[in-house]
A and B are shown apart, each in its own frame.
Chain A
Amino acid sequence: MRSLILRTIAPIVLHLTLIFSLFLLLYGHNQPGGGFIAGLMTAVGIVLQWVTFDADDGWHRYNWPWDRIFSYGLALSACVGLFGLLSGYFLKGSAYEFNLPFIGEVEVLTAFFFDVGVYAVVVAVLLSILTTFCDRRAVIRGAPK
């Protein structure tokens, strides 16, 4: 798209969406938010870049191995579930508290890592579906020309 306004705004919006999605990801255990919605938010930010800077340019910039990323994300979530099984229940969450210098008390929940896995799956699946749809080389065998 050649709109000057969009080209100026899009990079700024990308940063805002990324920060907000990070906020949702970190915030989501007991409050509204979480890995799924954060992943959607990030994917939307990146898709906006594709729309703005033409398919080819935006493509090369974000042409990461999405298929790999979503399988790692899924593996991470499954591992967190298995970690819960150690204490007798699948998907059982547990919390650990650390005392860090300068920052103070930090609480780490295993649910957070589960969320990170979900986040990776959502972002990567959405983007890999979109890349496949936009891929001009994909041809269906037997389809009428």
Chain B
Amino acid sequence: MNLFLPVPVLLPLVTAIALFLVRHHQKIQERLSNASLAVNLAFALSLLSATAGGNIFIHRMGMWPFPFGIILAADRLTGTMVVLAAAIVAACTLFAQGYLSTNQRREVFHPLIHFQLMGIQGAFMTGDLFNLFVFFEVMLISTYALLAFYYNLDQLEVALKYTFLNLVASAMFLVGISFLYAQVGTVNMADLSVKIRELGPQPLMVVTAFIFLFVFSMKAALFPMHLWLPSAHSISPTHIGAVLAGVLVKVGIYSIIRCAWLIFPGPFKVLQPMIMTIALVTIVWGALGTLPQRSLKRILAYSTINQLGYIAFGVALLSPLGMTAAIFYIVSHAFLKSSMLLGAGLNQKLTGTVDLDEMGGMMAKAPYASALMLVGFLSLAGIPPLSGFFSKLFLLQAGFTQGAYLATGLALLMGVISLYYNFTTYQRMAWGTGGNEAREAPATMYSSVSFLASFAVIFGIGAAWLYEWSHLVASQITRPELYINAMRNAL
């Protein structure tokens, strides 16, 4: 497995180049893209099963020795996240092939989505802070282009907003890396962890950790930096929105987890009250933000912010139990929210609108599509036995066990609002009488939405199994010495 570790980075890269070269032959391009995504998913699954035993795989690129070279590493968390990315991006690409009509600049969509996949998977695999920055940039640059995909003025505005905010974040990221390098003289994550612990508690290190928290919460759309998310979700093409909500924001959360447990365990303990506050404000803000919306996609976007608050809450507990709950939440939410955004896109294809008041009566017009949405809404609202219920349950359990009664109580209270907005949204969408006639949608769109929505049921009924796995993941990342030793002893 060590030899094949670069595959999640290399395969999308090579595919993207090939897809760009054959961009004038649409059939070939589509088939090549699908084949590559299938191989990528298969590899991700084999990586997951290989990491399940607790092995941490290391690939030293260019054969440079431990703290100097660029290192790819895969533990259970990486395996989980890579599978998430591979599955969701594959489903979204399949969806896009039905969603886009032939003249809509498909030829650049496929190469871009593969570059984006390369950035995402690279960010999950890298064991080096500077390369995390590089993969973030790969991911962001393709996202900028994908957000402005239809080339119209609204989308350009969204893309510009996203670009500016993320340019600031990237600049801060570099500043943070240089702060770190000035203090400890390394950028390898394992080496950083050791040296920061040796350095002991230092105010400047807390400031550095804060810079990284700021940068990653921009990606993860936590409270003060969430402003880009609603318009990016609602105005960008649906499949891009689904990748954003499902995977891209999780890259930010993933990086926060790595910082909290591996790189800066000490400074994050100091910052804990702040992270907790950010998480709670994000929960409240996201829940209240859904109430005045009329567009289905915007409601889903605010609900994403709300859910990200819950995930950040789990991370902010800084305990193995909270981590387990957060991992469970990440996995179930990634599949759930991307299925719902794709479902919204399916509805848009069927009715030509995302406005809830114009939609109405979807239950009669397109029963299957609205049943898929119903599964999603029920799960988001937290109705057992669907995955959304268990993810909230474990989180609240972790919070109460740890004695954070006030914060957990607030999170629970906001759950009531989410119950309310999910039900009213579905009511407005599916019941009543709507103005629009339903049109046809290709079968690939239905199948990709069904594929993702089925996980809401699978992770609901198989919650014990997923919890077991999340526990395994959490038990590995909460002991950073495993990761450090694996890197030190790498051949």
Contacts and interface: CB of A to CB of B under 8 A. Distances in A.
Given A82-B10, A85-B3, A92 B63 contact: yes
A136 interface: no
A74 B17 contact: yes
Interface stretch (B150-158, B230-238, B325-333): B150-158
Interface in A75-114: 75, 78, 81-82, 84-85, 88-93
The 8 closest A-B pairs by CB, nearest first: A89-B63, A90-B6, A91-B62, A142-B153, A142-B152, A91-B61, A71-B20, A90-B61
Contacts of B60: 89
A137 interface: no
Contacts of B59: 89-90
**Chain A CB within 10 Å — which of B3, B13, B17, B21 has the most?**
B17
Contacts of B153: 140-143
Interface string B18-49: 10110000000000000000000000000000
Interface in A40-99: 67-68, 71, 74-75, 78, 81-82, 84-85, 88-93
A140 B62 contact: no
Contact of A141 (B3, B13, B14, B152): B152
Contacts of B3: 85, 88
Contacts of A74: 13, 17
Contact-residue bracket for chain B: 20 to 34
Contacts of A75: 14, 17-18, 21
A142 B155 CA distance: 11
A93 B63 CA distance: 9
A81 B10 contact: yes
28 contacts: A67-B20, A71-B17, A71-B21, A75-B14, A75-B21, A78-B13, A78-B17, A81-B6, A81-B10, A82-B10, A85-B6, A88-B3, A88-B63, A89-B59, A89-B60, A90-B6, A90-B10, A90-B62, A92-B61, A93-B62, A140-B151, A140-B153, A140-B156, A141-B150, A141-B153, A142-B152, A142-B153, A143-B153
B228 to A, nearest CB: 21
Contacts of B150: 141
Contacts of B21: 68, 71, 75
A90 B3 CA distance: 8
B70 to A, nearest CB: 8
Given A75-B14, A93-B62, 19 more contacts: A74-B17, A75-B21, A82-B14, A85-B3, A88-B3, A88-B63, A89-B60, A89-B61, A89-B63, A90-B6, A90-B59, A90-B62, A91-B62, A92-B61, A140-B153, A140-B156, A141-B150, A142-B153, A142-B154
Nearest to B70: A91
A78 B151 contact: no
B7 to A, nearest CB: 10
Nearest to A93: B62
A67 B108 CA distance: 12
Interface string A114-145: 00000000000000000000000000111100
